[in-house]
Structure formats: C-alpha cells, structure tokens
Chains A and B, each alone.
Chain A
Amino acid sequence: KQEVTQIPAALSVPEGENLVLNCSFTDSAIYNLQWFRQDPGKGLTSLLLIQSSQREQTSGRLNASLDKSSGRSTLYIAASQPGDSATYLCAVGLSNDYKLSFGAGTTVTVRA
C-alpha cells in the first residue's frame, strides 16, 4: 500500500522567503505525482502534475521536482506572498491505477 508523508505538518514564514515543501512516498512505481492547494472551506486546486518520466515541472513561482528512486518530491514556491497561505497536498498516482494516494498536507502561513 502506497504511503504518502508530508513533513512538516505546518510552516510559518515571513513574506518574501522561499518555501520548500516535502513529500515522500513508499512505492517508487508511481505513474505521476500531483501537488494541490486547498484553501479553508474550499476544494483542492491542482497546481502541478509531474509524470513519472519527468524530473520537474514549473509554473510561475512554483517548481516541483520528482525523484522516484528516493521516493521524494519537493514543491518550491519562490518569493512567498501572504496569498500563498493555504494547505498544500501531494498525491501519488500508481501505475495503471486511477486512484490517488494523498498526503495529509502541509499548512503554510506567510506572514506579512
């Protein structure tokens, strides 16, 4: 069974600092990995999707890397802003399987 872990559970940084969020998974035979953002009282918004054949994906200030061999992914958010405050979840898709295994998330607070 795929286990997805996100550490730390919560993170508080001053505005302008770069954010580094970690995700680890136990089964390296993944199909893809997604990073989601969840705002309070809202659903999940997909930020980046990395296929298993890719090493990283970038969108604006966001960059996600994937290292299948070590079972890790990292989400970098450059020059954080108060609007980046949210919970960030990673989800792993297994090969030939539509199911996603979600981590518990990291709650980020960016202080103005």
Chain B
Amino acid sequence: DAGVIQSPRHEVTEMGQEVTLRCKPISGHNSLFWYRQTMMRGLELLIYFNNNVPIDDSGMPEDRFSAKMPNASFSTLKIQPSEPRDSAVYFCASSRRAPQLQPQHFGDGTRLSIL
C-alpha cells in the first residue's frame, strides 16, 4: 500500500502566480478529500469527491480555488491567482466506498508559501 501521494512537498511562489497541487489517492479508494491546515483555523475541508465527481465544494474559499479529479488515480487543486493568505499546508486524503465508515488516509501534505 503506497499511501496517498502528494506533490510537491513544498511550494514557494510569489503573489499572483498560479499554483497547482497534485494528489494520487490509494488505489481502490473512491472518496477523495482536500483539506487546508493553518494555525489559526486548524483543519478545514475544502472539497470532497466521490467516484471522481465533486460532491461538496462549499469549503472552497473563493473562485480563485478550483479542484478537478479527471480519473480515479489523480486530482489537482489549483489556486489562481495566489495570495499570501493562501499560505498553509494542504492535505489530500482518500478513503474507501463509505467514508463515514472507513478511516481517511492522509498524504504528507504540500506546504505552500505565497510571498
């Protein structure tokens, strides 16, 4: 079991630039979650996919944020244009069939710094 794989691990970029975060969920998991973690707000759910379909994106902060899941093994979270307040650790997590019953497995995160 390779675990949830995220890339890049660290990203430093200037304000206004486009940022793309990538996630490969665990094979066989059909639920995927994007979270953001900050000291001030803790862990926040940004968006949830089930079977590659976005189910709930109510946590996406603004139109500058977008997420896609073109297939069962890949998802992206894009920020365009980026702002300093987007600096945080972004986690991707996946789980099997019934997320309420199965633990979510987290990747190691992408630490994003917007200058």
Chain A interface (Cβ < 8 Å from any Cβ of B):
31-32, 34, 36, 41-46, 49, 51, 89, 93, 96-100, 102-105
**Number of residue pairs spanning A and B whose beta carbons lie under 8 angstroms apart:** 50
A42–B108 touching, CB < 8 Å: yes
Contacts of A46 in B (CB 8 A): 103-105
Cα of A102 to Cα of B38 in the assembled complex, Å? 12
Cα of A73 to Cα of B31 in the assembled complex, Å? 26
Q: Which of A34, A100, A105 contacts B45 (CB 8 A)?
A: A100
Contacts of B109 in A (CB 8 A): 41-43
Chain B interface (Cβ < 8 Å from any Cβ of A):
4, 31, 42-43, 45, 48, 50, 55-56, 91, 93, 99-109, 111
Residue in A32, A43, A100 with the greatest tally of chain B CB atoms within 10 Å: A43
Cα of A102 to Cα of B42 in the assembled complex, Å? 8
Cα of A102 to Cα of B45 in the assembled complex, Å? 10
Cα of A34 to Cα of B93 in the assembled complex, Å? 14
Residue in B42, B91, B103 with the greatest tally of chain A CB atoms within 10 Å: B103
Residue in B31, B43, B56 with the greatest tally of chain A CB atoms within 10 Å: B43
Minimum Cβ distance to chain A for residue B89 (Å): 9
Residue on A nearest B31 in the bound complex, by CB = A98
B108–A41 touching, CB < 8 Å: yes
Contacts of A105 in B (CB 8 A): 42
Cα of A104 to Cα of B43 in the assembled complex, Å? 8
Contacts of A44 in B (CB 8 A): 91, 93, 104, 106
